Structure 1
Amino acid sequence: MQEDFLHYVWKHKAFSSQSLKTVSGETISIKHLGQHNHNAGPDFFNGQLSINGQLWAGNIEIHIKSSDWYLHNHEKDKAYDNVILHVVWEHDTEVFRKDNSEIPTLVLKHYVDDALFGNYQKLMKSKSWINCEADFSDIDDFLLNNWLERLFIERLERKSDDISTLLQQSNNDWEAVLFIMLLKNFGLKVNGEAFLSLAKSIDYSVVRKLQNDVLEMEALLFGQAGLLDDDVQEAYHSDLKLRYQYLKQKFTLRNEGVLPLQFFRLRPPNFPTIRLSQFANVYTTEHQLFSKVMVMNKKDEFYKLFNKGVNEFWMTHYTFAKASKISKKLLTKSFIDLLIINTIIPLKFSYAKYQGQSIEGELFDLIKEIKLENNSIVKKFLQLKSLEKNALSSQALLQLKQHYCDKNKCLQCAIGNQLIVKN
Structure 2
Amino acid sequence: MQEAFLHYCWKFKKFDFLNAETSAGENIQLLSVGQHNESESGPDFFNAKLKIDEQVWAGNVEIHLKSSDWYAHHHEKDTNYDNVILHVVWKHDVEIYRKNNTEIPCLELKNYVPPKFISNYKNLLQSNYRWINCENEFHEFPDFLLQHWLERLFIERLEEKSERILKLLAESNTNWEAVLFQLLAKNFGLNKNGNAFLEMAGSIPFSAVQKTEDVFQLEAIFFGQANMLEEEKEDAYYNQLRKEYKYLKRKFHLKKHSHIQVEYFRLRPSNFPTIRLSQLAMFYGNAQHLFSKIIQENSLDKIYQLLEVETSAYWKSHYSFGKESKEKSKKVSKNFINLVIINTLVPLKFCYQKYIGKNNSEELVELMRELPAEKNSVIKKFNSLRKKTATNALESQALLQLKPNYCDKNRCLHCKLGLSLLQKTRD
TM over 0.5: yes
Structure 1, unmatched stretches of 5+, are none
Q: 2:187 aligns with which of 185, 188, 203?
A: 185
Deviation at 1:62, TM superposition (A): 1.2
Q: Aligned partners of 1:90 and 1:64: how far apart in 2?
A: 6
Decide whether the 8 Å contact of 1:160 with 1:350 is kept in 2.
yes
Deviation at 1:388, TM superposition (A): 4.3
For 1:46, the equivalent position in structure 2 comes to: 47
Q: 2:397 aligns with which of 395, 398, 407?
A: 395
The letter for the 2-side match of 1:218 is E
Deviation at 1:258, TM superposition (A): 5.1
Decide whether the 8 Å contact of 1:218 with 1:277 is kept in 2.
yes
2:142 is aligned with 1:144: no
Taking the TM superposition and a 5 Å limit, the aligned residue runs for 1:291-306 are 291-306=292-307
Decide whether the 8 Å contact of 1:197 with 1:257 is kept in 2.
no
Deviation at 1:77, TM superposition (A): 3.0
Taking the TM superposition and a 5 Å limit, the aligned residue runs for 1:3-402 are 3-37=3-37, 38-127=39-128, 128-210=130-212, 212-257=213-258, 259-386=260-387, 387-402=389-404
Q: Aligned partners of 1:151 and 1:257: how far apart in 2?
A: 39
Q: Aligned partners of 2:154 and 2:31: how far apart in 1?
A: 36
Decide whether the 8 Å contact of 2:22 with 2:107 is kept in 1.
yes
The letter for the 2-side match of 1:301 is K
Tell me how large the CA RMSD over aligned residues is. Answer: 1.3
329-338 vs 362-371, which moves further: 362-371
**Percent of aligned positions that are identical:** 53
Q: Aligned partners of 2:114 and 2:147: how far apart in 1?
A: 29
94-103 vs 362-371, which moves further: 94-103
33-42 vs 198-207, which moves further: 33-42
Change (3 A) 1:177 1:263: same
Q: Aligned partners of 1:412 and 1:68: how far apart in 2?
A: 22
Decide whether the 8 Å contact of 2:227 with 2:260 is kept in 1.
no
Decide whether the 8 Å contact of 2:227 with 2:258 is kept in 1.
no
Q: Aligned partners of 2:225 and 2:73: how far apart in 1?
A: 52
Deviation at 1:355, TM superposition (A): 1.0
Q: SS of the counterpart of 1:246?
A: helix
Structure 2, unmatched stretches of 5+, are none
Runs of at least 4 residues off by over 3 Å? none
Equivalences, count: 422
Deviation at 1:401, TM superposition (A): 0.3
Q: SS of the counterpart of 1:216?
A: helix
227-236 vs 71-80, which moves further: 71-80
Deviation at 1:314, TM superposition (A): 0.7
Deviation at 1:257, TM superposition (A): 4.8
170-179 vs 114-123, which moves further: 114-123
Q: SS of the counterpart of 1:22?
A: coil
Q: Aligned partners of 1:374 and 1:282: how far apart in 2?
A: 26
